[in-house]
Structure 1
Amino acid sequence: MYFILNILGVLIVSGLVFLCSPAKRKVKWRSILSLFIVELLITWFMLATPVGTWTINKIASFFKWLVSCADAGISFAFPSVMANQQVDFFFSALMPIIFIVTFFDILSYFGIMTWIIDKVGWVISKVSGLPKLESFFSIQMMFLGNTEALAVIRQQLKVLKGNRLLTFGIMSMSSISGSIIGSYLTMVPADYVFAAIPLNCLNALLIASILNPVEISKEEDIVYVPPKEEKKDFFSTISNSMLVGIKMVIVILAMVIGYVAITTCLNGILGFIVHGLTIQKIFGIIFSPFAFLLGLGGHDAMYVASLMGIKISTNEFVAMMDLKTHLKTMAPHTTAVAVTFLTSFANFSTVGMIYGTYESIFGEESSGIIGKNVWKLLVSGMAVSLLSAMIVGLFVW
């Protein structure tokens, strides 16, 4: 019964996105079907085969090692804090970002990350038949984050037409930065985090192809490569990376504190009006139909629906902190779909980040494209997270 609901959910979400598309006749169903088949194969490999499980465990061990390296630096600066049996969220989940951002930038400096992104993006483009730049970008934002990925290809984006420029804004809603993965692993199971990462990448392409299909010529289908003149010296690069990392820590910390405080304030006001009413319960009702389509029933559906609302209105960190306290009592399927759904940057604050990036890089005219299509970005972010969770859910019961 619930498995059938899970399959039905994939069809319903895809259908709803198609109904929202202003250019239904331009949708390339062959490309979409190709992406969906690849997603099923990737998920099956990662979650249902010994080799896939071994691969995920090795990747998770690598990121945990990165976090341990970061802990060494944190312990040097805050020895008494790190000596405690239970370390605060700020030190255990956020401070490691400083080192991990630097580590990924070092890989990019020596061309290792650039090579991986380029080759994997080329493969996705060949399989899906979608433009190279969009395929390249979907991989790039998975490692670098949405704003960083937009900045890297800013020169090519500046010459794109408005409709295609919107595609990159839509895709940016479903990104995840490699520098954040270590923080996720301190709160939720690694299996579903690493399953969500490639699925979000492919689903971002899939949803953008339905919601905002574009047609380009072969001459336009190119990928921008930054000139060597833009490359700074090594020590300037890593020093700048560390400063970028601490800024990310401060921004995330501010958002977590602010949004938790706002949620508590709203709950107090709602409770004063109607006894027991909370923002989580309201979102639970709004998102419950989608939670049932994840193959959940009763109490689990309402809880996961509230997590959806928390993520969309605040961010995934707040929702993951709540989920962490319930993991021991949850069924495997519920854990799988909840963690997968939460593993992305899709929320209201991300819309603001994308808008700000467009305005700073491309100017007011281009940023207006985002301002006029905020609903498309939100639909995309929600749909990608749901599809990724539904696909993972098919393999975990």
Structure 2
Amino acid sequence: MFFFLNLIGIFVVIGLVFLCSPNKRNVKWRSIIVLAIVEVIITWFMLGTKFGAWTINLIASFFSFLVSSAYQGISFAFPSAMSIPHVDFFFAALMPIIFIITFFDILTYFGILTWIIDKVGWVISKISGLPKLESFFSIQMMFLGNTEALAVIRQQLAVLKENRLLTFGIMGMSSISGSIIGAYLTMVPAKYVFAAIPLNCLNALLLASMLNPIFVSKEADIVYIPSKEEKRDFFSTISNSMIVGINMVIVIVAMVIGYVALTACLNGILEFFVKGLTIQKIFSVIFSPFAYLLGLTGHDAAYVAQLMGIKLATNEFVAMMDLKGRLNGLAPHTVAVATTFLTSFANFSTVGMIYGTFSSILGGDKSAIIGRNVWRLLVSGIAVSLLSAMLVGLFVW
């Protein structure tokens, strides 16, 4: 019974997102069905085969190497901050952006990244029928995260029209950053974290094509390659990348501080009227029906709905810390769907991070498209997390 409830949940989420689409006639159902089939196969591969687990761990090891390299630079500048057992979010998750952007800009400078975008994007777009750049961006987000991935393709974004830019903002709600995977693994089971990463990115592509269906002509479906005149010398390029990185860190941390503070302020106002009432509790009530559609029992459904509310109102770290203390007392299915749902940046502060990233790399005029469509970003982020959790839930009981 609970398996079929879980299965029904997948169709309910897709149906609700479709109802939210302002352009239902142009939704490409063939692409959605193909991506859904691919995701089922990937989930089985990762959770049902040893080779799948080995492959994911190998990829993760490479990105862990990049993060550890970034930490060497951070430790040189801030040795006391990096020596403590629990490193602050600013140093652990944001500061590595400087090196990661620089590393991938080097790959872009020598044409390696643009070649990968063109080839990998071509494969994914052929399978899904969706544009190349969007297809590659969904893969790129797996370990880079939304802000880093947006920064890496900033030259491509600069030449896109507003309606297409919105797709990247919507998709950006559903990623994580490779720099914090290690932190996740200290709290929740690794296999579900690694299962969530590719599912989130493919689901982001799937749902973005429903929330913002657009037509990209063959002429426009290309990877932007800077001309020789636009290209700086190598050392100017990497120096500029580092400046872009630190500017982005400053903008993002400002947005995160502001949104978390606003949540705390709102909770204080609610507490004044109703004792014990918080925005997290309100969201937990709203999410209760979806928790049941994850194939959960009454008690577990109430707890997972609470975790959903905590994540949306604050961040996934707070929710994961709560889940960590209860892992031994929960059923395997509950642990699987809860961990998968929490493994993404989908919350209010991420909207600010994405807006801040667009503003820092594209300017205020183009970033306004994000401000006008906050509801689409939130719907996408929540729906992607639910859909990924439901897919994983089908294979873990």
TM-score (norm 1): 0.82
- The answer for the alignment partner of 1:199 in structure 2 is 199
- The answer for the alignment partner of 1:285 in structure 2 is 285
- The verdict on how the C-alpha distance between 1:299 and 1:239 changes in structure 2, with shifts beyond 3 A counting, is farther
Residue 87 in 1 paired to residue 90 in 2?
A: no
Residue 145 in 1 paired to residue 146 in 2?
A: yes
What is the CA distance between 1:136 and its match in structure 2? 3.1
CA distance in 1, matches of 2:209, 2:372: 19
CA distance in 1, matches of 2:100, 2:238: 11
- The answer for the alignment partner of 1:2 in structure 2 is 2
Which letter does structure 2 place at the counterpart of 1:279? I
Cα deviation per residue 1:104-145 (whole Å; 9 max; x = unaligned)?
A: 444444444444333221111111112223323333444363
Residue 311 in 1 paired to residue 311 in 2?
A: yes
Q: Which runs of 5+ in 2 are unaligned?
A: none
What is the CA distance between 1:311 and its match in structure 2? 3.0
Cα deviation per residue 1:278-319 (whole Å; 9 max; x = unaligned)?
A: 332222111111122122223332333233233333333444
Which letter does structure 2 place at the counterpart of 1:396? V
- The answer for the alignment partner of 1:385 in structure 2 is 385
- The verdict on how the C-alpha distance between 1:262 and 1:348 changes in structure 2, with shifts beyond 3 A counting, is closer
What is the CA distance between 1:375 and its match in structure 2? 1.9
What is the CA distance between 1:261 and its match in structure 2? 5.3
- The verdict on how the C-alpha distance between 1:224 and 1:103 changes in structure 2, with shifts beyond 3 A counting, is closer
Which letter does structure 1 place at the counterpart of 2:300? D
Which letter does structure 1 place at the counterpart of 2:283? F
CA distance in 1, matches of 2:359, 2:253: 24
- Paired residues, what number? 393
CA distance in 1, matches of 2:374, 2:363: 17
What is the CA distance between 1:209 and its match in structure 2? 2.0
- The verdict on how the C-alpha distance between 1:357 and 1:95 changes in structure 2, with shifts beyond 3 A counting, is closer
- The verdict on how the C-alpha distance between 1:381 and 1:75 changes in structure 2, with shifts beyond 3 A counting, is closer
The answer to which of 105-114 and 4-13 deviates more is 105-114
- The answer for the alignment partner of 1:156 in structure 2 is 159
Residue 168 in 1 paired to residue 176 in 2?
A: no
- The verdict on how the C-alpha distance between 1:270 and 1:181 changes in structure 2, with shifts beyond 3 A counting, is same
- The answer for the alignment partner of 2:301 in structure 1 is 301
- The answer for the alignment partner of 1:26 in structure 2 is 26
CA distance in 2, matches of 1:391, 1:141: 19
- The verdict on how the C-alpha distance between 1:223 and 1:250 changes in structure 2, with shifts beyond 3 A counting, is closer
Alignment of 1:81-230 (within 5 A): 86-90=85-89, 98-142=98-142, 143=144, 145-146=146-147, 147-149=150-152, 151-157=154-160, 160=161, 162-230=162-230
What is the CA distance between 1:167 and its match in structure 2? 2.9
Runs of 4+ in 1 over 6 A off after TM superposition: none
Which letter does structure 1 place at the counterpart of 2:156? I
- The answer for the alignment partner of 1:41 in structure 2 is 41
CA distance in 2, matches of 1:358, 1:72: 28
CA distance in 2, matches of 1:297, 1:96: 40
SS in structure 1 of the partner of residue 220 of structure 2:
coil
Q: Is the 8 A contact 1:63 1:182 kept in 2?
A: no
Which letter does structure 1 place at the counterpart of 2:192? Y
CA distance in 2, matches of 1:383, 1:70: 32
SS in structure 2 of the partner of residue 173 of structure 1:
helix
Q: Is the 8 A contact 2:248 2:360 kept in 1?
A: no
Which letter does structure 2 place at the counterpart of 1:381? G
Which letter does structure 1 place at the counterpart of 2:201? C
Q: Is the 8 A contact 1:208 1:380 kept in 2?
A: yes
Which letter does structure 1 place at the counterpart of 2:209? S
Q: Is the 8 A contact 1:346 1:378 kept in 2?
A: yes
CA distance in 2, matches of 1:370, 1:260: 19
Q: Is the 8 A contact 2:260 2:349 kept in 1?
A: no
Percent identical pairs in the alignment equals 75
What is the CA distance between 1:71 and its match in structure 2? 4.8
Q: CA RMSD in A?
A: 3.4
- The answer for the alignment partner of 1:55 in structure 2 is 55
- The verdict on how the C-alpha distance between 1:51 and 1:298 changes in structure 2, with shifts beyond 3 A counting, is same
Which letter does structure 2 place at the counterpart of 1:169? G
- The verdict on how the C-alpha distance between 1:373 and 1:61 changes in structure 2, with shifts beyond 3 A counting, is closer
- The verdict on how the C-alpha distance between 1:286 and 1:55 changes in structure 2, with shifts beyond 3 A counting, is same
CA distance in 2, matches of 1:305, 1:113: 40
What is the CA distance between 1:378 and its match in structure 2? 1.9
- The verdict on how the C-alpha distance between 1:75 and 1:177 changes in structure 2, with shifts beyond 3 A counting, is closer
